[in-house]
Amino acid sequence: MKNNIVVFFCLATLAHALAIHQVNAANDLVRQLCQRTTNNNLCLSIIEADPRQDLKNSPNGLCTILRERAVSNAIATSSKISNLLKTTTNRYAVQCLQICADSYQISIMRLRSADFRVISRQGYVSLAGGVAVASDATHDCEGTFTERPGTPPSPLTSENQSLEDVVRLVLEIINLTICNKVASCFAIRSKENKILNKRNNQPEAGGGSVLTLWVLPRSVDSEDATVGCSGLTGKVVSSATFVI
C-alpha cells in the first residue's frame, strides 16, 4: 500500500513535470517569435493572456491568437462607432463615422477569413494581403477625418493605432515564418522591370513566379481609372510586385 502511494506520487510528479515541460516548450517558441517582432511586449502580453496552450506551439497558433485579439479590438471599435453615430451632430463627422463603420466591418471580415493553417510562399500574397487590408481599412477611416476642413478630429485615433499594432505583429510573424526575417521576404521588381536577385544584385534568370498585388481603395467611386483585378475595379492606390 505504501509503495503504491509512492509510485502514484512519483507518477503524479512526473506527469506534472512533463506538463510544465510542455508549457515551457510552447512558451519558448512564443517568446522567441515575439522577441523577434518589433513589439515584443504587446506580443507577449496578448499570448500570455490566452489560456489555450495548444495554440502556443506553432506560428499558425500564434497568428490565430493575435488575429482573435485584432477581431475583438475591431468589434469593440465598431460598437463605439455605433454609439458615436447616435450622439454625433456634426454633419461631416457623421459621414466619416459612417465610412468608419464600413471600414471596421471590412477589417473584421478580412481578419476572420485569414487562414493560417498553411503559411507558405505560395499563399503569401492572399494571406498577408488579406491581413494587411484589415489595417488599410482603418487607416481609410482615420483619413476621412482629415479630408475636409471643419471636420472635428477623429475620435478613433487610438483604436486605429491599436488595431494596426496587432495586425503588424501578425504580418511580422508571417514573414518570420516564411523567410526568418521580419521585413521584406521577397525581392521587389525594380523600376527597370528587372527582377533583382537579392544576394548578388544580378537579374534573376527565369525561376520564380511573379505576382503583383494591387491595393484598391475601399470604395470604388472614381471614374478616371479602372483597373481590373479578380473582379474588382477601381483606382489603384499602390501596387507591389513580389517574386515568389
Ligand X SMILES: *[C@@H]1O[C@H](CO)[C@@H](O)[C@H](O)[C@H]1NC(C)=O
Residue 37 Cβ vs ligand X, minimum distance, rounded to whole Å: 9
CA-CA-CA-CA dihedral for 7, 10, 12, 15, to nearest 10? -120
Nearer to ligand X, 37 or 64 (CB): 37
User: Least separation, in Å, of the C-beta of 187 and ligand X?
Assistant: 8
Residue 39 CB, nearest distance to ligand X (Å)? 11
For ligand X, the closer of residues 65 and 156 by Cβ is 156
Minimum CB distance to ligand X smaller for 32 or for 233: 32
Closest distance between ligand X and the C-beta of residue 142, in Å? Answer: 3
Q: Which residue, 109 or 182, is less far from ligand X as judged by CB?
A: 182
Helix 2-36 crosses helix 40-48 at what angle (to 10 degrees)? Answer: 150
| Position closest to ligand X via CB | 142
Strands 238-243, 210-215: parallel, antiparallel or unpaired by DSSP? Answer: antiparallel
Shortest separation between residue 169's beta carbon and ligand X, angstroms: 9
Give the burial string for 125-139 (b: 16+ CB within 10 Å, else e). bebbbbbbbbbbbbe
**Which spans of this chain sit near ligand X (rule: CB under 6 A)?**
139, 142-143, 160-161, 164, 168, 171-172, 175, 182-186
Helix (H) or strand (E) holding 4: helix 2-36
Contacts 24+ apart (CB under 8 A), 14-18: none
Would you report the helix, strand and coil content of the chain in percent, each value rounded to 5?
60, 5, 30
In degrees and rounded to multiples of 5, residue 186 shows phi and psi of -120, 150
Cβ-based nearer residue to ligand X, 207 or 228: 207
